[in-house]
Amino acid sequence: MPEFTGVSHLELSVTNAEKSATWYADVLGLKRLQRSESENYVVEMLFHPPTKMVIGLLQHNKPASDRFDEKQPGLDHVGFAVAERAELDDWQRRLAELGVEHSPVTDAPSGSGTALVFRDPDNIQLEFWWTAPRQK
């Protein structure tokens, strides 16, 4: 079977590419790479240096909806990994300082890890996730 080596990029549909790019830069520390425009869309490309992940924020000029809903087929949420559980507390403080509404740090009922859930300006659910060590 052919293999792939990882996630090259993530592209999210947003209602306002400029507003979302500013939010992702301010909240997550992403760096702006470039902006492209056509008659059908505007896209802001951002980069997360530590993980080398590229996130595109695509504003369609004729969107099908004005707000994200994870109950529709497609994307449910995006989870960003953290190395240590204590980092979730650091992120919780940062989100609070920035006025970003978020959940409390919550252990998964399965014991598989711990999450901190928040949403971007278009209601796309994002989370920071720490994977618990497996018990032997």
What would the pLDDT profile of 39-78 be if each residue is shown by its tens digit?
999 999 999 999 999 999 999 887 666 666 666 667 889 9
Q: How many CA atoms lie within 13 A of 86 on its CB side?
A: 0
Q: What letter represents residue 121's amino acid?
A: P
Tokens representing 114?
């711990």
- The reply to whether 48 and 84 lie within a common domain is no
- The reply to whether 83 and 32 lie within a common domain is no
Residue 68 lies in a domain: no
> CA–CA separation, 76 vs 88, rounded Å?
21
- The reply to whether 80 and 56 lie within a common domain is no
Tokens representing 41?
């869309």
pLDDT of 121 above 80: yes
- The tokens 């032997």 sit on which residue? 136
- The reply to whether 134 and 82 lie within a common domain is yes
CATH assignment of the domain containing 51: 3.10.180.10
Looking at 61, 87, 105, the residue that finishes a domain is 61
Structural domain for 95, as ranges: 76-136
Amino acid 6: pLDDT: 79
